[in-house]
Every structure is written in C-alpha cells, then in structure tokens.
Structure 1
C-alpha cells in the first residue's frame, strides 16, 4: 500500500487548509435557517473560499457540479445544492466542505439542525458526532488503522442506528483521495498501522433506519434505501508522534485539537 507520509512543510500547509475548511463550516451556520435554499448556502461557501484565495475542492471533481455537498434528511452524502430546495423547520442538514489551499486539500463536514427537530433526528446527529469523536483518543503510532472502525462499530452497536459501509475515509494531501482508506466498521484486519505524518479523513455516515443506501438518478446523490434520516460528521486528522491532531477543528468546537494518547 502506497501511503504518503507528510513532512513538516506539508503538514504546515495542511494545517492552513484544515483551518480554512473549518472556518467555512463556522461561517455558514447563521444561514442554515428555514427558507434558505441549498444553492444559496453553496454560493455563500463558494464566495468565502474564493475570498480566502483558495479553491473549492468539490467543484468539478469527477464532474461534481457544485462547490460543496449539502445532504438533507434522508440524503446520506453527496447531495447537490439546488435553487429549488428550501430548508424547512426540523430538517437535519449535512454540509461537506473540501478546500484546496497552496495545492493541499482539507475535508470536513458537520450536521446542522434547522430550527427545532424531533428527538430521533437530534439523537441521530449526536450519535454520528460521537462516533467520530470517539476515534481520536485511540489513534497513535503502532496501532492498526482498523481500530477506527472497531471503535465506531462498538459505539454505534449500543444505539438503535446503523453504519453505512459503502463509503469510507481516505488519505488526503495534494490529491483529494489517497491511501489509506478508513473503514467505519469492524473488519478484523491489522495490516496497516498508524505512522507519524499520516493524514486522513474519518467520516462515518450513520442511518436512523437500516444501513442500505442507493444512488439517485443524478449519479451523485446517495439516499437511504428506506428513506430514513442519515447523519455524518467528518474531520481531517494528522497522526503525531504520540497521538493525533485534528486539522479541521473549528473554533468553539468542544473537542481537543491535539490528543496525547499514551500506551496502556
């Protein structure tokens, strides 16, 4: 497996990209309200990225037509912004942002709740977030990357929800998708181990119903097969000498930026 270990200069550049990607999600929050169209959200994010002299990483990637992905309610991922799609009170919305700054990518996503929503939707978003956050304390050099999927699976198994298996995290750098690929479920394989300088995304998709999804006619939008709600959180993560650093951590996000994960 050809995994590119980043040097200090590359890491510093990806810290800049990561900070900017997080800022896009922070800046868009006041606009995620009833009546706003998903295309308007896309345009606001696009303008902010360009203003910061960066490039929207999704725009044109394999033909994707928009600058960000916006996935509402039963859309699991890769939702295409639309001028006719207005947000409604109670919707849950995933906004997935990828930026390129100084030729380096960073990728992050979070859920937004529009107005007030029902209990199951709120709980689903919380479980998706916690399933991501629980992985950070188990990342350190020498451990197998499969511990990420094991950690997510063990947690989600305690809830009524399910994990989408078709989509995974990935290495990231001067290209959008690199090795290693990060599965979000327990697959009992210990062939690839964390090394300092590895950078990858973790981005579990959690469904309120069953785990099956399908691709809609636009060849991009992924929807839950039973039309149940879906939620996803994502961060770009650097493996350090003794833990990990969350490159896309947002200001005021209630997690550590740097984790020191001691051997037990």
Structure 2
C-alpha cells in the first residue's frame, strides 16, 4: 500500500483548504434553524466556497449532485440536500463538507442540534464528538491505524452506542479519498504505522442502536437500519513529529 507523505509546501496548501472548510462549516452551523431547508444550506455552502476561491469537493464526485452532504436524524451520511427537507426543532443535522484549494483537499463534518433536542440526542452527539477527540489523541507518530479506531470504538461502546462499520475514514491530499482506510473500530497496535507527513480524514459515525445501515432509493443516503438516531463528526488531521495537527479546526 502506497501512502503519500506531504511536503511542507503541500501541507501549507492543505492548511488553507482546511481553514476554508472550517469557516464554511461555521457559517452553515449558524444557519441551521427550524424551518431552514437542506437545499438552502447547500446553496450557502456553494456561495461561500466560491467566494473563498475554492471548489466544492463533493459535487460531481462519483455523480453526487450537491456541494454539501446533509443528513438528518436517522440518516447516517451522504444525505442529498432537498427543497422538501425542512429542519424541525429537535432534529440532528449532519453537515459533511469538503473543498479543493489549489489542487489540495480538505474534508470535515459536524452534527448540529436544531433548536432544543432531547437529552438522548444530546448525549449521542457529545459521545461522538468526544470519540473523535479520543481518536485525534491517539494519532501520535509511531502509533498505528488500529489505535485510532480502537479509541473511537472503546469510547462509544462503553456508552451503549454502536460504531458504523460500513464507512471509514481515509487518507486525503491530492485526492479526496487516498490510502489508507481508517476504520472507526479496531485493535490497538494493529495496522499501518503513523508517520509524520501523513494526512488522514477521521470520521466517527455513531448510532443509538444497531450499527447496520441501509441505502435509500437515491443510492446515496445511508440510514440506520432500525430508524434510530446517528451522529457524525470528522476532521482532516496531519501527523507531525510533535503529534497530531487538526487542519479543519478553528485556529
């Protein structure tokens, strides 16, 4: 398996791509409210991407029709924005977004509560966000890919949730999806060794119930098989000599 280690010049461009992703997601998060459609969020993402001198990473990728992956409640990932899908109080809105900046990719996701959500929904969101932070802490040079997934799995399963196994994180750089795959479960100490210059997109998807998912008729939107809630967080992370550097986080 060939994994590209990024140079300092390339990393500088990926930092810019990550900054743009973060800024657009910040704006989208502020726009999430009851009554807003996922189509409106997609339009905002497209507008801001263009204003920042970047290109959308997802639109046209393997035929995906939109700039933003917008998944609500039991939708796990890859939800297609729609004029008919209007957010309601208590929903969980998953915003998954990426850009290409001067040939280099950035990719991140976050789950945003719509208004006041139930304590159960809030706990799921908190556990998923925390699991990503645990994964980032495990991304020390010399550790292994299995340490990342193990950190996610241990954190969420201890709280009674399940990790989606049908989708994984991934390397990222000149392409949106590069080697290696980064599962959200695994055995500590297993898999490829983490080396400075590697850039990985790590993205826990965590379900209230079963880890099984189903694909809707649009052939994109993945939903929980039992109809229960799902949450999703993602960052693009650089491995450095000193440890992990999150490229898609606010400075």
Bin the TM-score by the shorter chain: over 0.9
2:101 maps to: 101
Aligned residues: 251
Contact 2:157 2:163 in 1 (8 A): no
- Aligned pairs for 1:68-83 (under 5 A) are 68-83=68-83
Instruction: Give 1:188 shift.
Output: 5.9
Contact 2:77 2:222 in 1 (8 A): yes
1:211 aligns with 2:217: no
2:10 maps to: 10
Partner secondary structure for residue 110 of structure 2:
strand
Contact 1:87 1:114 in 2 (8 A): yes
Task: Give the TM-score taking structure 1 as reference length.
Answer: 0.93
1:259 maps to: none
- Structure 1: which 5+ residue stretches go unaligned? 252-264
Contact 2:147 2:187 in 1 (8 A): no
Larger displacement relative to structure 2 (155-164 or 219-228): 155-164
Contact 1:111 1:125 in 2 (8 A): yes
2:88 maps to: 88
Q: State how far apart, in whole Å, the 2-side matches of 1:105 and 1:153 are.
A: 27
- Structure 2: which 5+ residue stretches go unaligned? none
- Aligned pairs for 1:121-132 (under 5 A) are 121-132=121-132
Q: State how far apart, in whole Å, the 2-side matches of 1:175 and 1:54 are.
A: 15
Instruction: Give 1:160 shift.
Output: 1.6
Structure 1 outlier segments of 4+, above 6 Å: none
Q: State how far apart, in whole Å, the 2-side matches of 1:225 and 1:187 are.
A: 25
Contact 2:147 2:189 in 1 (8 A): no
Larger displacement relative to structure 2 (237-246 or 182-191): 182-191
Partner secondary structure for residue 76 of structure 1:
strand
1:233 maps to: 233
Partner secondary structure for residue 135 of structure 1:
helix
- Aligned pairs for 1:26-45 (under 5 A) are 26-45=26-45
Instruction: Give 1:219 shift.
Output: 0.6
Instruction: Give 1:34 shift.
Output: 0.5
Task: Give the TM-score taking structure 2 as reference length.
Answer: 0.98
Instruction: Give 1:242 shift.
Output: 2.2
Q: Deviations over 1:10-44 (max 9, x none)?
A: 00000000010000111112210000000000000
Contact 1:36 1:86 in 2 (8 A): yes
Instruction: Give 1:190 shift.
Output: 2.3
Instruction: Give 1:143 shift.
Output: 1.3
